């Protein structure tokens, strides 16, 4: 059976619509979450101009000399600012050791919601750090505009999730009203002065699952993103025109007792005429409130499906993941995810 990432038009949740139209969307999302864990969404309502502005902002920043970009490096515990090439290894977030510990050659810039966005709450700085904004004309405004739109889409998706799981309307709202939201802008291109060695094992971003509830991904159409299918093989995925890619994170898999999938994915950038084809993406990670406790839904546990997970706070889970990817500490609490990596067909 061929592997496909289903496309779902979510406009019924963006614009006024009938209950039947919304129910049809929820059913389609449920099927995608059960069978693939990835989907393409159309009808999301983000204007083309906002997406174009994000792309322009990324081009402006990543077009700076490397020395200028590294001026915006922040401590790995803060998950903000610039991450140079080969400063992270996503496979470590799954508890999977690699020969070259920090070998992912992508570079990234992270911004997100900070404590100042929630002045009435006392929130941990490690998840809600203040942003550093590069001194690049238009960057802050363009990125903040896109971030707000992507957050709206993430909230829309959690509304769809509640209906798809037959939960009360607004079920996820108390878990996400001060969500850890991080927008990670990725650039896949070899650093200046790097020779291309075609050894078949070049890693743009190592195999990993996302950490939280849902990820909203904008990507250009350059090949590279691969998703692990149920057949144990890696499959190329590119977004259709105007579509966003959506995938579930580990916390949603925990909530649903793996009825829904947190799917492994990676980036293996293509070589074109002996050099790397540049690829861009921007992922909004909607991870939930740091103090929220995620426990398996009773609706997803029965005699045939025993509870696979102990309760965990969002803080505990995300911290362990980030200690792997950004600080180089093997995550010992990801046995189920790491087993899937080791069983996959390389």
Every domain of the chain and the residues it spans: 7-343
- Grade residue 219 by pLDDT with cuts at 50, 70 and 90: very high
Residues 6+ apart with CB under 8 A from 245: 5, 38, 39, 40, 41, 216, 217, 218, 219, 225, 237, 239
d(CA 16, CA 128): 34
Q: In this model, does residue 263 exceed pLDDT 70? A: yes
When pLDDT is averaged across residues 166-178 and rounded to a whole number, the result is 97
Q: What is the pLDDT of residue 325?
A: 55
Q: In this model, does residue 234 exceed pLDDT 60? A: yes
- Grade residue 323 by pLDDT with cuts at 50, 70 and 90: confident
Q: What is the pLDDT of residue 125?
A: 93
Dump pLDDT digits (tens) for 200-214.
Answer: 455 667 888 999 999
Residue 281: which H helix or E strand, with range? strand 279-289
Dump pLDDT digits (tens) for 81-124.
Answer: 999 887 766 555 444 444 444 466 789 999 999 999 999 999 99
CATH number of 7-343: 2.60.120.330
64 to 30, 56, 88: CA distances (angstroms): 43, 13, 21
Q: In this model, does residue 306 exceed pLDDT 90? A: yes
Q: What is the pLDDT of residue 31?
A: 98
d(CA 238, CA 162): 27
186 beta partners: 108, 281
Residue in 126, 222, 224 with CA at minimum distance from that of residue 182? 126
Q: What is the pLDDT of residue 191?
A: 53
d(CA 164, CA 28): 9
Q: List the end-to-end C-alpha distance of the chain, in Å, as a whole number.
A: 19
Length reported for the chain: 346
102 to 50, 54, 129, 206, 282: CA distances (angstroms): 33, 28, 24, 10, 21
Residue in 280, 297, 127, 146 with CA at minimum distance from that of residue 212? 127
Q: In this model, does residue 243 exceed pLDDT 80? A: yes
Q: What is the pLDDT of residue 322?
A: 83
Residues 6+ apart with CB under 8 A from 11: 17, 42, 43, 45
When pLDDT is averaged across residues 235-239 and rounded to a whole number, the result is 92
Q: What is the pLDDT of residue 129?
A: 96
When pLDDT is averaged across residues 306-332 and rounded to a whole number, the result is 79
Q: What is the pLDDT of residue 270?
A: 65
Q: In this model, does residue 254 exceed pLDDT 80? A: yes
Q: Provide the mean pLDDT of the chain.
A: 87
Residue in 155, 152, 156, 140 with CA at minimum distance from that of residue 53? 140
Q: What is the pLDDT of residue 98?
A: 47
Range of lowest pLDDT (109-113, 115-119, 180-184, 278-282): 278-282
The full DSSP string for 194-232 is PPP---S---SEEEE-B-SSEEEEEE-S-S-EEEE-TTS
d(CA 10, CA 246): 12
Dump pLDDT digits (tens) for 26-65.
Answer: 999 999 999 999 999 999 999 999 999 999 999 999 999 9
């Amino acid at each position: 059976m061929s592997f496909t990432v289903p496309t779902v038009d979510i406009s019924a949740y963006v614009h006024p619509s009938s209950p039947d139209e919304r129910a049809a969307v929820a059913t389609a999302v449920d099927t995608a979450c059960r069978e693939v864990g990835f989907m393409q969404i159309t009808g999301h309502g983000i204007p083309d101009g906002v997406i174009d502005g994000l792309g322009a902002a990324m081009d402006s920043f990543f077009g700076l000399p490397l020395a200028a970009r590294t001026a915006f490096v922040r401590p790995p515990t803060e998950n903000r600012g610039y991450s140079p090439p080969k400063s992270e290894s996503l496979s470590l977030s799954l508890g999977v050791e690699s020969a070259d510990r920090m070998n992912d050659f992508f570079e990234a810039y992270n911004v997100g919601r900070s404590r100042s966005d929630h002045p009435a709450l006392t929130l941990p700085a490690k998840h809600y750090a203040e942003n550093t904004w590069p001194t690049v004309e238009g960057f802050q405004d363009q990125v903040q505009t896109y971030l707000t739109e992507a957050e709206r889409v993430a909230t829309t998706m959690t509304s769809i999730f509640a209906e798809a799981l037959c939960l009360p309307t607004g079920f996820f709202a108390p878990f996400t009203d001060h969500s850890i939201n991080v927008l990670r802008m990725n650039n896949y291109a070899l650093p200046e002065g790097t020779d291309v060695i075609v050894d078949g094992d070049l890693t743009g971003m190592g195999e990993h699952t996302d950490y939280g509830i849902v990820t909203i991904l904008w990507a250009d159409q350059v090949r590279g993103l691969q998703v692990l299918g149920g057949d144990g093989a890696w499959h190329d995925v590119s977004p259709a025109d105007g579509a966003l890619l959506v995938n579930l994170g580990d916390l949603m898999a925990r909530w649903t007792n793996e009825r829904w999938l947190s799917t492994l994915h990676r980036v293996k950038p293509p070589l074109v005429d002996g050099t790397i084809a540049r690829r861009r993406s921007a992922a909004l990670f909607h991870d939930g409130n740091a103090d929220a406790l995620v426990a398996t839904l009773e609706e997803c546990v029965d005699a045939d499906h025993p509870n696979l997970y102990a309760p965990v706070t969002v803080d505990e889970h995300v911290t362990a993941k980030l200690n792997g990817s950004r600080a180089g500490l093997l995550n010992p609490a990801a046995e189920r995810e790491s087993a899937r990596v080791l069983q996959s067909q390389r």
